Amino acid sequence: MTEYIHVSPEDRIEPKNGVIKLHDEAGFEGMRKAGRLAAEILDALAPHVVPGVTTDELDKIVYGMTVDAGAVPATLGYRGYTKSCCTSINHVVCHGIPGEKKLKDGDIVNIDVTPILDGWHGDTSRMYFVGKPSVKAKKLVDITYECLMLGLGQAKPGNRLGDISNAIQTHAESHRYGVVRDFCGHGLGRLFHDSPEVVHAGKAGTGPELKPGMFFTVEPMINIGRPDVKLLDDGWTAVTRDRSLSAQFEHSIGITEDGCEIFTKSPKGLDHPPYDVD
């Protein structure tokens, strides 16, 4: 039996304990603001993601915009992580650490940001093309975005979490792509990683029932090859075992009476590449 609990911002912050929180209108307001800031940061990065830029330079832009807005990057100091975003290039599945490495023409890169604004977490990521992508990289990125949006199409009251997972898996596998199993979406709100776990492959009609007020991310990682990942020695960077290209998009959403509200939609319409900003 799934347990649910109604919470409001005035409540003590409940830890992650398997109980799914149902947030009130004040929660939606908080998430709207945090989600919008997160999306604005990703919008602002678009013209900077070009050959020759280092991922550290991108990280500095994320840090600056986050603190200028009165927010804090959730990843900074999170379990020993020391950067304001994750930058996952080519065969990196997720949690790539910004550094001195320069982006080069033809790379695809995911940038994942999570500002905490007034206590609320806005968690979102998009893919960017560095210069001109290969045909197979572009197709992977297109299909991965479609996977996210098809999953979100299932995010409505009465459906179950497995309906989201199944929509993602079905679309990815119809293109013979691999759906990563080792990382999942998550509840969020005043916590960064809360219940439930949102897996990206599964059976329709299974898992917790979706109810208005649930907040969670959907963030499928899709590989051209096998789903298997391995962790590099830095303890963070996850790469595809077969070195195939990987892509990911992430939105933070709230379940409403008749569907879902996407908190992290791009104000500039830059939800997926190419962004044509330069």
| Residues making contact with Co ion (CB under 5 A) | 112, 123, 217, 250
User: Does 43 sit near ligand MF3 (CB under 6 A)?
Assistant: no
Q: Among residues 87, 114, 159, 266, which is the contact residue for ligand MF3, using CB under 6 A?
A: 114
Contact partner at residue 75 from ligand MF3, Co ion, none, CB < 5 to 8 Å by partner kind: ligand MF3
Of the pair 56, 136, the CB lying nearest ligand MF3 is at 56
User: Does 78 sit near ligand MF3 (CB under 6 A)?
Assistant: yes
User: Does 182 sit near ligand MF3 (CB under 6 A)?
Assistant: no
Residues within window 228-267 making contact with ligand MF3, judged by CB under 6 A: 236, 250
* Least Å from the CB of residue 88 to ligand MF3: 10
Query: Hey, which bits of 122-275 come out as E strands?
Result: 124-129, 178-179, 185-187, 194-198, 215-218, 221-223, 229-231, 238-240, 246-248, 251-255, 260-262
How many residues form the binding site for ligand MF3 (CB under 6 A)? 12
User: Does 75 sit near ligand MF3 (CB under 6 A)?
Assistant: yes
Half-sphere exposure (CA, 13 Å, Cβ side) for 71? 30
Distance CA 122, CA 119 (A): 10
Of the pair 123, 194, the CB lying nearest Co ion is at 123
Contact partner at residue 240 from ligand MF3, Co ion, none, CB < 5 to 8 Å by partner kind: none
* Least Å from the CB of residue 132 to Co ion: 26
Distance CA 181, CA 117 (A): 30
Contact partner at residue 3 from ligand MF3, Co ion, none, CB < 5 to 8 Å by partner kind: none
Here the tokens at position 143 are 């299909």
Query: Hey, which bits of the chain come out as E strands?
Result: 4-7, 20-23, 72-73, 85-89, 92-94, 108-113, 115-117, 120-121, 124-129, 178-179, 185-187, 194-198, 215-218, 221-223, 229-231, 238-240, 246-248, 251-255, 260-262
CA angle 53–145–172, rounded 5-degree value: 120
Query: Hey, which bits of 24-156 come out as E strands?
Result: 72-73, 85-89, 92-94, 108-113, 115-117, 120-121, 124-129
Of the pair 24, 197, the CB lying nearest ligand MF3 is at 197
* Least Å from the CB of residue 112 to ligand MF3: 4
* Least Å from the CB of residue 136 to ligand MF3: 25
User: Does 112 sit near ligand MF3 (CB under 6 A)?
Assistant: yes
Of the pair 233, 257, the CB lying nearest ligand MF3 is at 233
Helix (H) or strand (E) holding 42: helix 25-45
Interface contacts to ligand MF3, rule CB under 6 A: 75, 78, 81, 86, 95, 112, 114, 123, 217, 219, 236, 250
